[in-house]
Structure 1
Amino acid sequence: MTTLFDSYRLGELTLPNRTVMAPMTRVRAAAGGLATPSMATYYAQRATAGLIVSEGVQPSLIGQSNPGTPGLHTDEQVASWRPVTAAVHTNGGRIFAQIMHGGRVSHPETTGTVPVGPSAVAAVGEVFTPSGPQSAPTPRALDTSEVPEQAESYALAARRAIDAGFDGVELHGANGYLISQFLSSNANLRTDRYGGSVANRVRFAVEAVSATVEAIGAARTGIRLSPGATFWGVEETDAPELYQALLAELARLEIAYVHFEATIDEEILVELRRAWPGTFMVNPTLPMGPKQAGRAEADHWLGLGADLISFGRGFLANPDLVERLRTGLPIAPVDEATFYQGGDAGYLTYPSYQHAA
């Protein structure tokens, strides 16, 4: 029987275990979207994960969602990431960059420009800005001729990620951000080839992944998805059909993995597992939901056919999460007040388990 601590071959990488550190926004980048020495320490502390997926990294200025997040669209940003990836590799780890285009989930105070999206439909809720939370603005709908440039931005950032020392990239296709907006049946009201039918609404995701595969290779490319989720007000009235169609297109590209969040009924996720011929990663509890994933949830999904299990808050508060899961040690709780406050408190200050003398 497969266990969480078996090794796994992912593309050109051999993972020593099947635990993945899920991407988590920490808004601790320096001015200009630069990675910092503290970020190098943070990720290196967690290098016993089979794979680390970084926080969301914007592929362009217009793709930036939150202030204080890092980028991969300038030479200075690439240079700032190199000590981070080197620190992870020195500690024996592997790290993918999550490339995240916020689309309509942004604000002019953050980027200096009006956000873009598939349609002129505002996200639901307040977005973070340098002066505090504000209502999400109505985005500018992309012209048909502009859409390929936004898809290509993922590939350009992927090239920079490899140059910065990352082992690969994960496209953020989940949680109401740009790819998710194109998949949506209410954020995407387009009548051109990118809107309307299921085949048209998956087109942007497929083009973004295809461009990335061409740029850095299929073995270095993954994508994260959240079927049926309603983050930032997105809806998918036809989620099972939509994701079956998307997986059929992605399967032709032979990418490294798909990374699903448990945002839809388990039976539907199991059907998607059966439809996917490659590596299937699951984040087994609802992101930011009331329950935190542990060994029981991981074992459950391994039994259902998942290959890799991602953990978010568990890795945030437990740099030695793999060992805690392996030996049954207590999982430390997170301090939610420190998620986005900046600084090293609640970032570098979570200790490994201290055994009694």
Structure 2
Amino acid sequence: MTDAKLFTPLKAGALSLRNRVVMAPLTRNRARPRDDAPIDLHVDYYRQRASAGLIISEGTQISPMGKGYAWTPGIHSPAQIDGWRAVTDAVHAEGGTIVAQIWHVGRVSHSSLLPDGAQPVGPSALTAATRTFDGEKFMPTSEPRAIDIGGIGRVLANYHHAAMNARSAGFDGVEIHAANGYLIEQFMRASSNTRTDAYGGSVENRTRFLEEVVATVSEAIGADRVGVRLSPFSHANGVEIDGAEELYSRAIERISAYGLAYLHLVEGETGGERSLPDPEAIARLRALFKGVYIANNGYDREMAIDAVESGAADAVAFGKLFISNPDLVERLRRDAPLNAPDRDTFYGGGAKGYTDYPFLTEPTPA
């Protein structure tokens, strides 16, 4: 089914996608250790995958305090901007479209990864029930300190600056990472937010920070270049999902009002089962967003084609399959065999398992 709608162009705000196969954000831990900047290896990796309708970059920290894992790239220094500009130039030379996923991990970090051994920050002083990687070993996350109102303002300024830096680096837009138990979602979930001020308690208060991030990033670069990623039914990084549909219904209503480029949902557990409390929950949430919807989590070719043909999604994001299949769009179009990913090389390392996966060699049928 090479004429499926999945392989047709799509306009998402100011973003022009030549097909509806999206490369999901994929943390690969290969940034330059001394300054968290992308290197030539990143240029090759993203260029190889530029046939995606949209590339969403790996999570890219908005500030040194936003870092949660060794060797993840940032978008807050001149060296990082220069490194990313080489990536975006390469993708654009291949006719691709790419956005930066901007990221603050909040409490999902360790003091050894932060400036001067600082404590991570979160909405409340509650340690995340998860681990992080310091470059040598996995370790429990550090106890965070509750961020004060002034600190919230500084983080919002970091988001604004990161979005502007992304545009300076040549990205076509940004995706706000508000999923997987990181800072924005920490504010949203009652299990990680016990505040009693304007950012805690009610659903309205707990979705306030998300809307403020969307507002400042939209002001920086235009809402039509901004997407948001959410994971309503995921326990990633130790959050609980009680009352998820009520919470995320309000969150999506608030951000939909900005006229964003797209909404990107993890449908179920992050990187895991497509388990939902109600099979219709995603459809109900999607209906609240007045714009392009990108579906994510465990899709194969048939599922993706069906989702786009039926209107359940406007585009579908693939993660692990893009790791091992740089030409995934063509393989899906032709229903060709897929390379299996090497999980041992997902995080850290060099070219092995990063830029050495084979492309199809057979000529495209006339």
Place the TM-score, normalised by the shorter chain, in its bin: over 0.9
Q: How does 1:76-91 map to 2 (within 5 A)?
A: 76-91=79-94
Instruction: Give 1:167 deviation, angstroms.
Output: 0.3
- The 3-state SS of whatever aligns with 2:214 is helix
Residue 152 of structure 1 contacts residue 208 of structure 1 at CA under 8 Å; is this kept in 2?
Answer: no
- Pairwise mapping of residues 101-120 of structure 1 onto structure 2 (< 5 A)? 101-111=104-114, 112-120=117-125
Q: Determine whether 1:183 maps to 2:188.
A: yes
1:68 and 1:266 mapped to 2: Cα distance?
Answer: 38
The DSSP-based 3-state class of the residue aligned with 2:254 is helix
Quick check: 2:256–2:288 contact (8 Å CA) kept in 1? no
Report the equivalent of 1:343. 350
TM-score (norm 2): 0.93
What residue identity is the alignment partner of 1:271?
Answer: R
Q: Aligned residues, how many?
A: 349
Shift of 1:14: 2.2
Aligned to 1:296: 302
Show the counterpart of 1:155.
160
Q: Secondary structure at the match of 1:4?
A: helix
Shift of 1:354: 3.4
Q: 1:182, CA displacement in angstroms?
A: 0.8
Cα deviations across residues 101-160 of structure 1 (Å, max 9, x unaligned)? 010011111113210001111111221113411111110110123212212321210100
1:226 to 219, 227, 231: 231
Query: Which deviations, in whole Å up to 9, do the C-alpha atoms of 1:219-262 show, x marking residues without a partner?
Result: 11111000021011101311111111011111111111110011
* Mapping of residues 1-357 of structure 1, within 5 Å: 3-30=5-32, 31-111=34-114, 112-263=117-268, 264=276, 265-285=278-298, 293-302=299-308, 303-355=310-362
CA distance in 2, matches of 1:248, 1:3: 28
Aligned counterparts of 1:80 and 1:125: Cα–Cα separation in 2: 30
Structure 1 residue identity aligned to 2:322: F
The aligned counterpart of 2:271 is none
Counterpart AA for 2:233: G
Counterpart Cα distance in 2 of 1:14 and 1:276: 19
Unaligned runs of 5+ in 2: 269-275
Return the alpha-carbon distance in structure 2 between the equivalents of residues 90 and 163 of structure 1. 17
Structure 1 residue ranges without an equivalent (≥5): 286-292
Asked if structure 2 preserves the Cα contact closer than 8 Å seen for 1:270 and 1:304, the reply is no
Task: Report if aligned partners of 1:7, 1:15 keep a CA contact under 8 Å in 2.
Answer: yes
C-alpha distance in 2 between matches for 1:237 and 1:152: 31
Shift of 1:304: 4.5
Q: Distance in 2 between matches of 1:185 and 1:102?
A: 17
User: Could you tell me how far 1:284 is from its partner in structure 2?
Assistant: 3.5
Question: Would you say the 8 A contact 2:108–2:130 is kept in 1?
Answer: no
SS at match of 1:62: helix
Task: Supply the AA of the counterpart residue of 2:46.
Answer: Y
SS at match of 1:248: helix
Residue type matched to 1:104 in 2? R
Give the conservation status (yes or no) of the 8 Å contact 2:230–2:266.
yes
Aligned-partner Cα distance in 1 for 2:297–2:313 = 10
Tell me which amino acid in the other structure corresponds to 1:231.
A
In 1, the alpha carbon distance for the partners of 2:38 and 2:301 equals: 32
User: Cα gap change, 1:341/1:13 in structure 2, threshold over 3 Å: closer, same or farther?
Assistant: closer
Deviation readout 1:61-112 (Å, 9 max, x if unpaired): 0001111011011112111111110000011111000001010011111113
Aligned equivalents of 1:115 and 1:221: distance in 2? Answer: 26
C-alpha distance in structure 1 between counterparts of 2:279 and 2:228, whole Å: 19
Deviations 1:275-312 (A, max 9, x none): 11111111042xxxxxxx32112123222421111000
